[in-house]
């Protein structure tokens, strides 16, 4: 199928050492032959071997625009499976624009956001889940998210989905064959055999759906709230975790009145961390608003860090916070461990079952244990990514949920003693939902919507 030729500046539009202009399509070599000049003026790049680099100049007519290196990639051995050219030029904004203008003047058109990856998908080089992983790699906020996205780009999700689809299509084929040729293919006892196979498939699907919780955390980070009474050391903890003085710290109770948000990378895990006003009864109108906001953020948090001033006794404000923490993912930090304690771990154990750690934000102790606790709490130790697939995309999660519902309907039909052709209907629906994840059954509008979120040059 003939496609037009697209081009774009693939690097950021800011001054840099090198800029890249990427061209893809059937006319890529015709265009580069018109605008490229070698040092001796004789080399025709369309005659050169694929995956070679050539030094020369980009020219607009007789005018030299820049000294460049040109990388040649002939179809189908390129990212898009089309003839592809990359021009490495000096990274000035003006020179990159001039080269792109020259490319466009000679027959290319500007690429849309994500169009290179879209062509890779449409030309069968990658499936849709791999295409979506490209933008996830670009937007990765931590090492775990990056590893998960790279795994998906390498086809880990594709392999898992195809394994499940193969099992389902085998059952569909058997049912259709048995219905067409009942004399030679017996369906006696088939319902029980199918039930066992569906149960096995559902174990895998349930595991993938469950992984979406960790997957969302991998991708977006842990929504974390620091809570405690005034002067417990919440803002000091935030400053320590961030590595700079972001929150004002004083001996005056109630200094923090508004919400302060920071994103930090803690031992490879992203925390979207919020420092809140100290929770206490107050008549100060402004402070009361801050306390109400703190309560709202605690309700929505994935994870709560409860900072306790261990040099003071527990009071009614602590009791309110303790009630808020029951049944929640949280850790208790007994701060000011450098001072004589009035609140101990044994006392806290009377009210809360969560992990309790002694820390001193003044002396920077206990933070390493906090980091390891968070990792264990959310990821159960190290993530090796060797064979585990994490679902990080809400579209994939919804398709898996729909798959589970269709397979559950098959089990319902078996239980109710329905005819075998009822099984086939729901098995087909499950198969289609799985197909949508890797893009083998997708509406064009949805494909366009997915790729519209990409950045230029990808």
Is the residue at 130 inside a domain?
A: no
153 and 86 within one domain: no
**With bands split at pLDDT 50, 70 and 90, how would you rate the model's confidence at 176?**
confident
Q: How far apart are CA 248 and CA 245, in angstroms?
A: 7
pLDDT of the residue at 252: 38
Q: How far apart are CA 315 and CA 253, in angstroms?
A: 15
pLDDT in tens, 199-244: 999 999 999 998 877 666 666 778 888 888 888 888 888 888 776 5
pLDDT category of residue 450 using cuts at 50, 70 and 90: low
Last residue of a domain, one of 379, 411, 436: 379
| Domain annotation covers residue 134 | no
Give 180-198 pLDDT, tens digit per residue.
777 777 778 888 899 999 9
Please report whether residue 124 resides in a domain. Answer: no
Same domain? For 196 and 83 the reply is no
* 93 or 377, higher pLDDT: 93
Q: Please report which confidence band the pLDDT of residue 248 belongs to, taking 50, 70 and 90 as the band edges.
A: very low
307 and 237 Cβ atoms separated by less than 8 Å? yes
Report the CATH number at residue 343. Answer: 3.40.50.300
Q: Does the pLDDT of residue 351 top 70, yes or no?
A: yes
Where residue 196 sits, what CATH number does that domain have? Answer: 1.20.120.430
103 plus 241 within the same structural domain: no
Same domain? For 289 and 370 the reply is yes
Based on the domain organization, do 210 and 235 belong to the same domain? no
Q: Phi-psi region for residue 85, left (φ > 0), alpha (ψ -120 to 50) or beta?
A: beta
- Is the bond preceding 353 in cis, omega lying within 30 degrees of 0? no
The answer to whether position 118 is within a domain reads no
Domain of 35, CATH number, reads 3.30.1360.120
- Domain contains 203: yes
21 is a domain residue:
yes
Distance separating alpha carbons of residues 427 and 303, to the nearest angstrom: 39
Q: How many domains does the chain have?
A: 3
Complete DSSP assignment for 215-245 = HHHHHH-EEEEEEESTTSSHHHHHHHHHTS-
The answer to whether 208 and 413 have CB atoms below 8 angstroms apart is no
- pLDDT over 70 for what percent of the chain? 83
Helix (H) or strand (E) holding 437: helix 420-438
Same-domain pairing of 194 and 261: no
Per-residue model confidence (pLDDT) at position 210 = 84
Instruction: Single out the residue in 379, 411, 443 at which a domain terminates.
Output: 379
- Is the pLDDT confidence value at 381 over 50? no
Work out the pLDDT band at 426, boundaries 50, 70, 90. Answer: very high
Instruction: Please check whether residues 374 and 239 belong to one and the same domain.
Output: yes
> Rounded CA gap, 98 and 308, in Å?
61
Does residue 344 share a domain with residue 247? yes
Highest mean pLDDT among 138-142, 306-310, 454-458: 306-310
pLDDT for 156:
85
- Look up the pTM and report it: 0.64
196 and 233 inside one domain? no
Whether 369 and 397 share a structural domain: no
318, pLDDT greater than 90: no
Looking at the fold, whether 285 and 369 belong to one and the same domain comes out as: yes
Please indicate, yes or no, if residue 345 is contained in any of the structural domains.
yes
pLDDT tens profile 14-63: 888 999 999 999 999 999 999 999 988 778 999 999 999 999 999 999 99
Average pLDDT, the chain: 83
> Can you list the pairs that 142-145 forms with residues at least 24 positions away whose Cβ atoms lie under 8 Å?
142/218, 142/221, 142/265, 142/268, 142/269, 142/270, 143/268, 144/218, 144/268, 144/269, 144/379, 144/383, 145/218, 145/219, 145/270, 145/392
Domain interval for residue 155: 139-216+393-451
Q: Between 371 and 291, whose confidence is greater? A: 371
Token pair of 209, please?
């759906």
pLDDT at 267: 64
Q: Classify residue 172: in a domain, yes or no.
A: yes
Interacting residues of 148 by C-beta distance below 8 A, sequence separation 6+: 136, 215, 218, 219, 385, 390, 392
Same domain (yes/no): 196, 316: no
Whole-number pLDDT of residue 5 = 96
pLDDT band at 168, cuts 50/70/90?
A: very high
């Amino acid at each position: 199928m003939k496609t037009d030729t697209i081009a774009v500046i693939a690097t950021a539009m800011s001054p840099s050492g090198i800029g890249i202009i990427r061209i893809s399509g059937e006319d890529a070599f015709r265009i580069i032959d018109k605008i490229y000049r070698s040092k001796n003026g004789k080399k025709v790049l369309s005659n050169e071997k694929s995956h070679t680099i050539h030094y020369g100049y980009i020219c607009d007519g007789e005018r030299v625009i820049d000294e460049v290196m040109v990388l040649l990639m002939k179809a189908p051995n390129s990212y898009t499976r089309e003839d592809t050219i990359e021009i490495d030029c000096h990274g000035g904004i003006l020179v990159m624009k001039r080269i792109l203008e020259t490319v466009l003047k000679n027959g290319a058109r500007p690429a849309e956001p994500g169009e290179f990856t879209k062509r890779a998908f449409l030309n069968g080089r990658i499936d849709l889940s791999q295409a979506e992983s490209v933008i996830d790699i670009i937007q990765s906020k931590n090492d775990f998210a990056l590893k998960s996205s790279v795994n998906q780009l390498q086809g880990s999700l594709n392999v898992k989905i195809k394994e499940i689809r193969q099992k389902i299509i085998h059952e569909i084929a058997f049912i259709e064959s048995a219905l067409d040729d009942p004399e030679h293919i017996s369906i006696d006892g088939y319902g029980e055999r199918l039930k066992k196979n569906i149960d096995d498939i559902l174990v895998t699907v349930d595991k993938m759906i469950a992984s979406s919780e960790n997957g969302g955390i991998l991708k977006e980070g842990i929504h974390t709230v620091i809570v405690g009474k005034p002067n417990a050391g919440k803002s000091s903890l935030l400053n320590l975790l961030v590595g700079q003085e972001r929150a004002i710290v004083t001996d005056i109770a109630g200094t923090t009145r508004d919400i302060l948000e920071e994103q930090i990378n803690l031992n490879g895990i992203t925390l979207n961390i919020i420092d809140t006003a100290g929770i206490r009864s107050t008549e100060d109108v402004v402070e009361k608003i801050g306390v109400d906001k703190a309560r709202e953020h605690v309700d929505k948090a994935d994870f709560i860090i409860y900072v306790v001033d261990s040099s003071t006794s527990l009071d009614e404000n602590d009791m309110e916070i303790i009630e808020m923490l029951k049944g929640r993912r949280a850790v208790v930090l007994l701060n000011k461990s450098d001072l004589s304690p009035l609140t101990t771990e044994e006392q806290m154990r009377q009210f809360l079952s969560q992990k309790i750690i002694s820390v001193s934000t003044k002396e920077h102790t206990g933070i390493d244990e906090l980091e390891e606790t968070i990792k264990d709490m959310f990821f159960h130790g190290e993530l090796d990514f060797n064979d585990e697939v994490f679902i990080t995309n809400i579209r994939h999660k919804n398709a898996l949920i729909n798959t589970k519902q269709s397979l559950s309907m098959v089990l319902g039909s078996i239980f109710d003693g329905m005819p075998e052709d009822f099984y086939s209907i729901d098995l087909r629906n499950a198969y289609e939902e799985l197909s949508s994840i890797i893009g083998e059954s997708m509406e064009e509008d949805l494909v366009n919507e997915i790729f519209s979120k990409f950045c230029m040059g990808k």
